[in-house]
Structure 1
Amino acid sequence: MKRFGLVLLQTLLVLALALVYPWIARSDAWFSASFQYPWLLLGLIVVPFILWWGTAGQDHRAPRLRVGTAKPFMSGPRGLRARLRDAPGVLRAVAIALLVTAIARPVSVLRDQRGDDKGIDIVVVLDLSGSMRAVLDAKPGDLPGNIALPRGKRLTRLDTAKIVIQDFIGRRKTDRMGVVVFGKNAYVLSPPTLDYHLLTQLVSKMSLDVIDGSSTAIGDGLATAVARLRRSDAQSKVIVLLTDGDNKEGLVSPQYATELATSQGCKIYTIQIGNDDEVEVEDGVNLLGQPQYTRRRYPVNPELLKWIAKQTGGQAYIATDAKALASSMHAVLDQLEKTRFEASRSSFEDLFSFLLVPGVALVALDALLRAWLLRRFP
């Protein structure tokens, strides 16, 4: 019974010493700590067994020699090794307790932070009319990210626009972005969001056959974008319009959509892809399975796009090749002013390392004692 009390006292003493470092390092954090994997704390059930196994259980496993009487040995002097015989078992049990608690991953909510994040609300409006299948060749290095083009593959205006938009999304940090696509009608591909990964995936899957591309409704596309920004709390709202044609159809005229944008404080940056020249358009394949091209001319209306940009305080750009398209998007990036969103965020901190350090230290001390001071024979 006396030995049990001493073992318990040693255990509490070692545990208290082991918790000095976590307490000094993060004393306040432990009061609000929670566990990411609380079910792993069931592993603490084995700690009492490990404590018994390394102390009293060790005596039961030791070899014995029967003698007539052990009374003389009871009155004999005891050395340091005899008094520390239970120390390795205590160290191991406390170490296991700390390590099990550590892998349950305690975390602490340090504080609710009110921070000002610079950012704006942006909606990219992309033309998906049939004219976007025209070829817009790119030379190596013209496209952002030095994207390697498949051999023999000629990029269309849509292919190039998708690559440039994905690069545009990748350069954002705290801006909410959305995408609207239009052909004969306009559709919301994504409302303004901070989920850039999802937005990039959606843009990469766009194709000309997902909507009716038989006409170009620029007004509808702009009006849909303005509708998505109408309830925005941002002080700066931006629409980036990429189109290669003139407004031919739609329920809303580009002029009225521009007025709506002005009333909502939206700036429109227009990027005209291509000009009025003849361009090559893929027109099936030949007998050898190779793509064949025909030449067509698609009308554009640069005056309309310049007027839209000027009325809303934006800028108008013309891109006749992939390099110019990428440069236009970068110019838009350079001109986008910043506004601030007040965001409420919780700051979390992992605490497992503060338990891991003393746990590993106790394991090392246990091994050192067994190998050096308390080694046993045979």
Structure 2
Amino acid sequence: MLTFAHLWCFAFLPLPWLLRLALPAQQRHEVSVRVPFGSRLRKVLGQPGISPIKRTDWEGAILNSLIWLCVLTAVARPQWVEPPVVKEVPTRDLLLLVDLSGSMDQEDFQNSAGKKVARLDAVKEVLSEFLEKRKGDRVGLVVFGDAAYLQTPFTTDLKLALDLLAECEVGMAGPRTAFGDAIGLGVGLFDEDSDRSKTIIALTDGNDTKSHLPPVEAARVAAQRDITIYTVAIGDPTTVGEDKLDEQGLKDVASEAGGKYFFAADREHLAGIYDELNKIETNQIQTVSHRPRTDVYYLPLLAGLCLSILNKAWLARRGRRNHSSHQRHHHIRVNPVTGEMEVAA
């Protein structure tokens, strides 16, 4: 679509005609050669005088009008507007905390095919389905064991997040659980001045055995920065020792950070938890569009230049043709008998 950045420039279209009316051209009559028998020459030639070489008025008006229109069109800055380019703007920063401690290797979950798989494999499978629905979010991934590590920084490339999640293995971050340190690392990853919603989803099957920062204290810091934490407990609540499931601690973390606690006994429960999270954390997609503009002012400018060159070339050719016709006039001589001027053949 063609548009003009300065459409008001076309208001100057009648300006040359207004100037011509207000400031008419000065008429000057200059004599090139004075001869005492000029009137006799004109009488013999039968011509009132030498007329200047000129075109008819309508030809000049049309050419000059077209040139002026081309100049005004270029000054108005014509632009070709391209189809809109739509971009999705993230409305939420979603951080996943995934426990990679040794107990995540227990095969007490069933996958979608009904086969017994490790807890981490079930988490990967359900997380993949969950992330595919998070279009419009920025997703990050933190894994933790003896310490917490950033696996994926915040990104809108969900495929990248899924690929890096698939590379996670049990024990790669250590056998124990530093849940509090993982929350602390996650809190530091969020932009404090961002208007996006900030959410953490933590998946763990054990109590905190290695953190320097207690999980509840880390949750309080998160709440102060408007970060919501949802905790998902994975494991057997009857387990004792270091691998026991600290349900109360996970409930306290979720409560401190304004989130909710969930317990996943098997893959079906885990999938149901993500369905509920999808309802709680409604996925709002904000889009912005931009229509690229390309300046094409050079086209009318080029057209005006071509018209001006053609105009000058036409005038030069017309002038040479008229000059040749004047040179073909008969010569004037004085009759020796009568003393009168006459045109010689």
Report the TM-score when normalising by structure 1.
Answer: 0.52
Equivalent residue, structure 2, for 1:273: 234
CA contact (8 A) 1:125 1:182 kept: yes
Give distance in 2, aligned partners of 1:108 and 1:229: 38
Counterpart selection for 2:166 from 199, 204, 226:
204
Equivalent residue, structure 2, for 1:329: 274
Give distance in 2, aligned partners of 1:195 and 1:28: 36
Equivalent residue, structure 2, for 1:236: 197
TM superposition shift of 1:311 = 1.3
TM superposition shift of 1:254 = 0.7
Query: Could you say if the C-alpha distance between residues 223 and 192 of structure 1 is closer, same or farther in structure 2, counting changes exceeding 3 Å?
Result: same
Counterpart selection for 1:121 from 83, 86, 93:
93
More displaced, 183-192 or 117-126? Answer: 117-126
When the two structures are aligned, how many residues end up with a matched partner? 218
CA contact (8 A) 1:270 1:305 kept: yes
Superposition map of 1:143-182 within 5 A: 147-148=112-113, 154-182=116-144
Counterpart selection for 1:319 from 246, 264, 276:
264
Equivalent residue, structure 1, for 2:214: 253
Counterpart selection for 2:147 from 182, 185, 197:
185
CA contact (8 A) 1:234 1:339 kept: no
Q: Which amino acid aligns with 1:335?
A: I
TM superposition shift of 1:172 = 1.0
Q: Which amino acid aligns with 2:93?
A: D
Q: Secondary structure at the match of 1:238?
A: strand
CA contact (8 A) 1:178 1:190 kept: yes
TM superposition shift of 1:118 = 6.7
Give distance in 2, aligned partners of 1:185 and 1:322: 26
Alignment of 1:135 with 2:107, yes or no, is yes
CA contact (8 A) 2:135 2:283 kept: no
Q: Which amino acid aligns with 2:100?
A: L
User: RMSD over aligned Cα, in angstroms?
Assistant: 3.0
CA contact (8 A) 2:147 2:182 kept: yes
Give distance in 2, aligned partners of 1:112 and 1:231: 29
Deviations 1:315-370 (A, max 9, x none): 100011111011112211110146676x7554579xxxxxxxxxxxxxxxxxxxxx
Give distance in 1, aligned partners of 2:193 and 2:144: 22
Give distance in 2, aligned partners of 1:297 and 1:215: 8
Q: Secondary structure at the match of 2:176?
A: coil
Report the TM-score when normalising by structure 2.
Answer: 0.57
Deviations 1:95-147 (A, max 9, x none): xxxxxxxxxxxx9744577x885731110101000010011231xxxx5xxx4
Counterpart selection for 2:248 from 303, 312, 318:
303
Query: Could you say if the C-alpha distance between residues 108 and 308 of structure 1 is closer, same or farther in structure 2, counting changes exceeding 3 Å?
Result: same
Q: Which stretches in structure 1 are left out of the alignment for 5+ residues?
A: 1-25, 30-106, 280-295, 350-378
Q: Which amino acid aligns with 1:206?
A: C
TM superposition shift of 1:278 = 5.3
CA contact (8 A) 2:136 2:284 kept: no
Query: Could you say if the C-alpha distance between residues 297 and 320 of structure 1 is closer, same or farther in structure 2, counting changes exceeding 3 Å?
Result: farther
Q: Secondary structure at the match of 1:210?
A: coil
Amino-acid identity (%): 28
| More helix, by proportion | 1
Larger radius of gyration: 2
Q: Which amino acid aligns with 1:215?
A: R
CA contact (8 A) 1:125 1:181 kept: yes
Query: Could you say if the C-alpha distance between residues 230 and 319 of structure 1 is closer, same or farther in structure 2, counting changes exceeding 3 Å?
Result: same
Query: Could you say if the C-alpha distance between residues 133 and 108 of structure 1 is closer, same or farther in structure 2, counting changes exceeding 3 Å?
Result: farther
Deviations 1:13-43 (A, max 9, x none): xxxxxxxxxxxxx4569xxxxxxxxxxxxxx
Q: Which stretches in structure 2 are left out of the alignment for 5+ residues?
A: 5-79, 294-345
Counterpart selection for 2:179 from 218, 223, 233:
218
Structure 1 segments (4+ residues) deviating >2 Å: 26-29, 107-113, 115-119, 275-279, 337-341, 343-349
Query: Could you say if the C-alpha distance between residues 262 and 197 of structure 1 is closer, same or farther in structure 2, counting changes exceeding 3 Å?
Result: same
TM superposition shift of 1:235 = 4.0
TM superposition shift of 1:211 = 2.0
Give distance in 1, aligned partners of 2:148 and 2:90: 30
Give distance in 1, aligned partners of 2:291 and 2:165: 32
TM superposition shift of 1:164 = 1.1
